[in-house]
C-alpha cells in the first residue's frame, strides 16, 4: 500500500520559496553583467575586511560599511547551521541593512540598485528565517525553574 504524504505546511512553502530565491541569487547578474551573486558573496567578504582594516584612516562609516558587508555574508552561513532564535530574528533584517549600506556607500546609487542579485538573496534569507522562526518554540523559563526546585528539594530531604 502506498501511503499519502502529509500536506506541506506554510513553513515548508516559505522555506522552499526562500531556498529557491537564495539559490537563484547566486546566478543572477547585476545590470551591467559584470558580477553575479556567487562572486558578490566573495567580494563582500573581501571588501568587508578591507573596510574594517582601514576604518581608522577612513572613518567610522567605513568601518560600519565593512561590518554590514561581513554580517550580510555571515547571514548566508546561518542558513546551513542551527542558530538560536534571537539570531534568526536578527537575520531577518541583516540582508536589508547590508543593502542599505551598499546603497548609501555607493557614489552612484543606481549601481547599487542595479545589483539585481541582492533582492532574491535578501528575500530568500528572510523567508527561510521566517519559516524557521515559526518552527522554533519560544524559550520557556518555567521548566528550568521546576528542575532547579526539584534538585534543591531532593537535597533537603
Residues 61, 66, 71, 76, CA torsion sign: positive
Cell representation of residue 71: 554580517
Query: Phi/psi of residue 28, each to 5°?
Result: -75, 130
Tens of pLDDT along the chain (157 residues) come to 567 777 788 889 999 999 999 999 999 998 888 889 899 889 999 999 998 888 777 777 888 888 999 999 999 999 999 888 889 999 999 999 988 888 888 887 777 888 889 999 999 999 999 999 987 666 654 445 455 455 555 555 5
| pTM reported for the whole predicted model | 0.78
Task: Quote the CA–CA distance of 93 and 58 in Å, as a whole number.
Answer: 26
On the CB side of 34, CA atoms within 13 Å amount to 6
CA distance 142 to 145: 5
Amino acid at each position: 500500500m502506498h501511503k499519502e504524504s502529509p500536506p506541506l505546511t506554510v513553513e515548508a512553502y516559505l522555506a522552499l520559496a526562500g531556498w529557491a530565491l537564495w539559490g537563484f541569487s547566486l546566478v543572477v547578474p547585476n545590470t551591467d553583467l559584470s558580477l553575479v551573486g556567487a562572486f558578490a558573496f566573495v567580494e563582500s567578504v573581501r571588501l568587508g575586511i578591507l573596510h574594517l582594516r582601514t576604518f581608522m584612516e577612513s572613518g567610522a562609516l567605513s568601518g560600519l560599511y565593512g561590518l554590514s558587508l561581513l554580517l550580510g555574508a555571515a547571514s548566508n552561513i546561518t542558513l546551513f547551521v542551527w542558530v538560536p532564535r534571537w539570531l534568526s530574528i536578527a537575520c531577518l533584517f541583516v540582508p536589508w541593512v547590508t543593502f542599505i549600506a551598499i546603497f548609501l556607500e555607493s557614489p552612484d546609487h543606481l549601481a547599487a540598485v542595479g545589483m539585481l542579485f541582492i533582492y532574491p538573496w535578501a528575500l530568500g534569507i528572510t523567508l527561510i528565517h521566517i519559516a524557521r522562526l515559526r518552527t522554533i518554540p519560544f524559550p520557556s523559563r518555567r521548566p528550568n525553574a521546576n528542575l532547579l526546585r526539584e534538585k534543591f528539594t531532593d537535597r533537603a530531604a
